[in-house]
Amino acid sequence: MSRVTRHSSLVTALLALAATSASAGGAGFYRVECDAAGAWRLVDPAGEPTVWLGVDHVKFDGFRCEADGNRKHYRETNERQFGSRDAWATNTAERLRSWGFNGLGAGCDNSRFKGSGLGRCVFLALGDSATGEKDDGEHWLSDNLHTPGTAFPNVFHPDFAEHCDREAEKACVPNRDDPEVLGYFIDNELAWEARRGGPAGAWGLFDNACAKPAGNTARAALDAFLAERGLKAGDDIPIPVRMAFVEFVAERYFEITTEAIRRHDPNHLVLGCRFAGTVYPDEVFRAAGKYCDIVSINGYAVPVPDRNEMLLSFRDRYYPIAETLTKLGELSGRPIMLTEWSFPAFDSGLPCLRGVGKRFDTQAERAWASALYARSVLSCPWVVGYDYFMWVDMPAKGISYRFPEDSNYGLVREDGREYAELTQAFAAIQRRDGLGFDEWRRAIATRGPLVPPPGTPLLTEDRLDAEYLPVAPGGLPVPSFDRDGNNWRVTNAEGLELRGEIFNTETQRRRGTETSESSVSPSLRVSVLKTLFGLSWRGADYGTLSAEMAVRGVFDPKNPDGYEQKTHRAARVLDAAWRETTEGRGTLSLDCDLGVARMGLDVTVAPESPCLHVDVRHVENTGGEALEITEIALLPDAPLPEATVPPKAPRPGFVHRPHVTRAWIDRATGRTLGALSDSPFIAAIDFEAGEGAARRSAVRFTLSGRGILGARQLVLAPGEVWTPPAPLHALIRPGDRGEGEWEEFSSRKVAPK
């Protein structure tokens, strides 16, 4: 019998084990159960229905600060205030219970909280530790760089099963009979897409195994897997076969780890592996559901104030969070725990430059978003609990080089003071105040909208207005627009210049070309492709920017080989119109031809600023087939000069804006080019690092895949015109004073309207 066949038989047997373990724990321990209506619930050791309301990283020491000589500021606070770890734990447990929390999530000082009235989770890190144990390339499919999302073990190496059994015995045996323990996290944010050690993507684990040398156990498993299908490494492997191997890997991972845990502790729940979001293939979630009691997701979501919605992505599209969690539940067949989520705010005094999560101005806005998140997930019948991230803030100077997070995630500050607006918001939702469980949960689901604090930017008003303010009468001159035939030029008082050419029948006659794109010679097409607008400021040339649209043909999802994605760039500008406003600004309206579609763009120029504000006005499908538009971008046609340093790490950008702003920096000349996407969502703003001089900067507008349309795909039928429901907005700002100028600009607050 082949290895693959033996594995399939074992999977069948373990599926039966997983089915019988749906209520793992039994009397006296936590368990999960599904009622007749299909709603999941957690049952506590006393047999009462409950929901897990936990907090991550509740620990006496807090976090070290490498920049301060590894000082632990929170530990110093606790030593002054409490004198002992036990006194601190007693006080902390009392505070958490008073805010309605009933459990401790990952990374907590569990031993200090026995008998505290708080349940506990045990974190194992089986796959992560297996990859770091022997750094020889044999023990991993994705290298462990000791940061989240970089490790994945070689589940085919015999050492992996032995390692899991050894580590599970050490962790599980001491907790086996403890009724206060909820269960075990297998791992945290493994590299299921195999970002390191090989190509990334939905089938990255296949590619990484394929890249292993002959004799490697992962390569041997892959060769046997392919041979049973009449294939071999090096063939053009169909996508369904690659995905089948990914599922094979996932099942083996969950089979080995869960079997090791249950061998040493049959009483407690297996809580999954804390997936980093929802981007992974169906095959991975299905495998998790076969073996785990609960599927755990680290799920950072995005609030939309004017819709009173909390959105969470699924397959890179955003849906109301309960809808996304329902999709995951239906895929896995198991209940869901949200094991990491948070919303930092700038008024904490922390930089909040590093780490994920939507940023807000104030604690009031942060509390509103957290309450909306909690209510939204507790209203989903697939959810049995969550862990808020986290107990105490990170250091202002960041944790370390590898973990530079410096954000306001805490329920309390490093000096021990609570964020009262946040903790009161949790208490208002989490405390039952005499209500029975079912009555309390119904009340959560049926309450009216949560009104955001005054001044919280709404989606339709969330615009980048810094350096874009009205000009008093008699002030600076309006930017000028000049047209000579089909050539146009825009200039302002600060030396900003845009230039381009309108491509119409007159242009074609002058060049002696025909109207069809197919007749344009390669050399002429290069020239035509550079007709959106050239950009210079104070004499420095920043290249020519082009519009770009990524589309894919509408296809049958059951036939992945039919998937086709193409990128179309603006082949010509068909018209350019100029209008002036009473506020002293000028707007250039461009009608762009992208071959399969036409796009309307507005480029607004302030009188005395290097900033350009670009809006997508409309998109029209001019082709003969339906198009699904996934992304719109602005990027240079010609490469910018090679930067002497990599792109900057993420900056917070403007207040209320996504925290992924970056600046392209050329230290040799001191030139910068920055861009921001105006959206309440986590936007894709990419500064792409090519080979040598091919480094480019791109600002990508947010579209259906990035959230602006919510649950709706942007699919245009032939002839259909789409106008964004809210502006798709980007800002481009060249600079000549290097990194400091961009940092100053990107940290400014937007002036009130």
Q: How confident is the model at residue 744 (pLDDT cuts 50, 70, 90)?
A: low
Q: What is the pTM of this model?
A: 0.70
Structural contact between residues 457 and 360, judged by C-beta atoms closer than 8 angstroms: no
**Domain regions of the chain by residue span:** 3-454, 467-746
Q: Cα separation of 308 and 369, whole Å?
A: 10
Rounded to whole angstroms, the Cα distance separating 439 from 36 reads 18
Q: Token pair for residue 106?
A: 């990952």
Q: Which of 458-467, 496-505, 592-601 has the lowest mean pLDDT?
A: 458-467
pLDDT band at 40 (very low <50, low <70, confident <90, very high): very high
Confidence of residue 670 (pLDDT cuts 50, 70, 90): low
Higher pLDDT, 2 or 277: 277
Dihedral, CA of residue 684, residue 689, residue 694 and residue 700, to nearest 10: 0
Query: CB-based burial of residue 99 (10 Å sphere; 0-12 exposed, 13-18 middle, 19+ buried)?
Result: buried
d(CA 243, CA 280): 11
pLDDT tens readout for residues 399-420 = 988 888 889 999 999 999 999 9
Supply 232's token pair: 């071999």
Residue 538, pLDDT score: 85
Predicted local confidence at residue 683, as pLDDT: 36
Compute the chain's Rg from CA coordinates. Answer: 28
pLDDT, tens only, 499-538: 988 886 544 444 443 333 333 333 333 344 446 888 888 8
pLDDT at 70 over 70: yes
pLDDT for 544-591, tens place per residue?
777 878 776 554 444 444 445 677 777 788 889 999 876 778 899 999
- Residues 6 or more apart whose Cβ sits within 8 Å of residue 95: 418, 423
In this structure, are residues 250 and 288 in contact, taking their beta carbons and an 8 Å threshold? yes
Q: Which of 703, 646, 696 is nearest to 677 (CA)?
A: 703
In this prediction, residue 249 carries a pLDDT of 97
Report the alpha-carbon distance of residue 701 to residue 656 in Å, rounded: 17
SS3 614: strand
* Length of the chain as a residue count: 753
The region, left, alpha or beta by phi > 0 then psi within -120 to 50, assigned to residue 152 is beta
Specify the range with the lowest mean pLDDT, choosing from 197-201, 283-287, 418-422, 663-667.
197-201
Report the candidate in 202, 223, 204 with the shortest Cα–Cα distance to residue 141. 204
Comparing 441 with 731, the larger pLDDT belongs to: 441
Q: What is the pLDDT of residue 216?
A: 93
Instruction: Check pLDDT > 50 for residue 437.
Output: yes
Looking at residues 606-633, what average pLDDT do you find?
83
The rounded distance, in Å, linking the Cα atoms of 724 and 726 is 5
> Considering the chain, what percentage of its residues have pLDDT values greater than 90?
44
CA distances from residue 549 to 529, 531, 555 in whole angstroms, order as listed:
14, 16, 18
* Distance, CA of 686 to CA of 561 (rounded, Å): 28
CATH hierarchy code of domain 467-746: 2.70.98
- In 3D, which of 734, 463, 742 has the Cα closest to residue 611? 734
What is the distance between the alpha carbons of residues 363 and 420, in angstroms, rounded to a whole number? 9
Summary count for the chain: helices (H), strands (E): 16, 34
Domain 3-454 has CATH 3.20.20.70: no
Contacts of 555 by beta carbon, 8 Å cutoff, 6+ apart: 562, 563, 564
Tell me, what's the pLDDT at 465? 39
Query: What local confidence, expressed as pLDDT, does residue 24 receive?
Result: 55
Average pLDDT of the residues of the chain: 78
